[in-house]
Chains A and B, each alone.
Chain A
């Protein structure tokens, strides 16, 4: 059967990148539609009427929403290669716990760094670093979060990595100094074809950050 695999997303969506990386890991080709979030397409609104958010994966006409849910779906459909989650239920629960932590804690502080100023920004930065340190503790000396193979939690977190470089260049903070082990994991992941192809160029992220901050400072 000819499969139809279609992603709706935006160039810089951290959540969309997870889905793209997951499909690339499975060697699955897909179609991609770039959404304009100020003018959402009818397809997006139909596919995700509850949240009206990207990313959405439309697989053979059926939509799946919420990036981590989509990543698990991809793992469950294409089971013959590159499993993202281990078999053991306890380890699976652990991976899901930390991926949820990334969404609940890492993401809001990332938003704070990008979009707030003054004390609020400083508070967000501090929290961001603390979250990364906690995750670094979870990684310990394993090559990837799940052990020897690139998996679910790696996919959930690696999409933030471009921003580590952005803020290092900006001089605002340096993840390399704060979390050297995590940074080694970042470099290891970014060598993978799936990751290097799907993550946007750091310079584009940097330009976006600069223009965002200019508007905030006026």
Chain B
């Protein structure tokens, strides 16, 4: 199950003043930002497979990025990315699969075609789940579509009964959803007094079981800090105020062209 019980000492964050590490020197590096949920996915996977010594964690400051990151490491300029065997790859879900295939340690997917197929479905669904929830943040009342996405997960959790996780046993599907469910639950609870787990017993149980997974708990950041970040980003009125349009009616113009 969970390996690496000792809390590792987390390296300091690199920013625009930091020197670039030596690249392609045989060291496998995972570039993350401690607060980024996408990067947290790959970080959890690294921990779960016991790869703390094999994959070096390189945290960067997203608000004040080192320029060498985009220029020399990963042109996509996002986290997470993985430097391995002289190549750098990105996209967190792809990296989960890559790490599972290319490194030793407990498997992140069970060897069962039905479960593998279901895993694909749920991994595909994760973008919609995230998108719907994020866009609900500015709304005063939590819209129905949030509940609908949580219902979807609740019913997914009923599919396999050989364990409390999405595929029964802990897998990359749980890893994919954990950082986001953690943030969404906290946000809606603290700011909207809405608990996504209410009326969803399987989801509630999943959340509790997740807290027993060391590989995950080692990556959890201070929820207050995360919440402040979200409040700042998503809660002040950011609707772009368009430049005031010409306050006159365009006189009736009988033509096919606009204006």
One digit per residue, 1 when the CB lies within 8 angstroms of any chain B CB and 0 when it does not, for chain A 61-92 equals: 00000000000000000000000000000000
Residue numbers of B with Cβ under 8 A of A are: 36-38, 78, 124, 127-128, 130-131, 134-135, 137, 233-234, 238-247, 249-250, 252-259
Inter-chain contacts of A37 with B (CB < 8 A): 242, 245
- Confirm or deny: A120 has a beta carbon within 8 angstroms of a beta carbon on chain B: yes
CB distance from A82 to the nearest CB of B (A): 15
| A181 sits at the interface (CB 8 A) | no
A20 to B252, CA, bound (A): 15
Other-chain residue from A31, A35, A200 in contact with B252 (beta carbon distance below 8 A): A31
SS of A interface (majority)? helix
Evaluate contact between A124 and B134: CB separation under 8 angstroms: yes
CB nearest neighbor in B for A209 = B240
Are B233 and A118 in contact, CB atoms less than 8 angstroms apart? Answer: yes
Which A residues have a C-beta under 8 Å from some C-beta of B? 6, 10-11, 20, 24, 29-39, 41, 108-109, 111-112, 115-120, 122-124, 126-127, 130, 197-198, 200, 208, 211-212, 215-216
- What would be 20 A-B contacts, judged by CB atoms less than 8 Å apart? A6-B252, A11-B258, A31-B254, A32-B253, A32-B258, A32-B259, A33-B250, A34-B246, A36-B244, A37-B242, A41-B249, A119-B37, A119-B130, A119-B134, A122-B38, A122-B78, A124-B135, A127-B131, A130-B127, A130-B128
With a cutoff of 8 Å between Cβ atoms, the chain A residues found around residue B253 in the complex are 31-32
Contact of A10 among B134, B233, B245 (CB under 8 A): B245
Besides A33-B249, A33-B252, A211-B240, 10 new A-B residue pairs in contact (Cβ under 8 A), listed by A number: A11-B259, A29-B254, A108-B131, A109-B131, A112-B131, A115-B240, A119-B38, A122-B38, A127-B130, A215-B238
Known contacts A33-B250, A119-B38, A122-B38; A197 and B257 CB within 8 A of each other:
yes
How many contacting A-B pairs (Cβ < 8 A)?
97
B242 touching A38 by the CB < 8 A rule? yes
CB-based nearest A residue for B252? A31
A108 to B138, CA, bound (A): 14
Q: Is A212 touching B246 in the complex (CB atoms < 8 A)?
A: no
Determine whether the beta carbon of B134 is less than 8 Å from that of A116.
yes
Residues of chain B within 8 A (CB-CB) of A211 are 240, 243
User: In the assembled complex, which residues on chain A have CB atoms less than 8 Å from the CB atom of B127?
Assistant: 123, 126-127, 130
Q: Which residues of B contact A208 (CB under 8 A)?
A: 242
Task: Enumerate chain B residues within 8 angstroms of A109, measured Cβ to Cβ.
Answer: 131
A49 to chain B, nearest CB (A): 19
- Alpha-carbon distance between A38 and B124 when the two chains are bound, in angstroms: 39
Closest 9 CB pairs of A and B: A120-B134, A127-B131, A123-B130, A126-B127, A212-B240, A36-B245, A123-B131, A31-B252, A34-B250
How far, in angstroms, from A35 to B257 measured CA to CA in the complex?
16
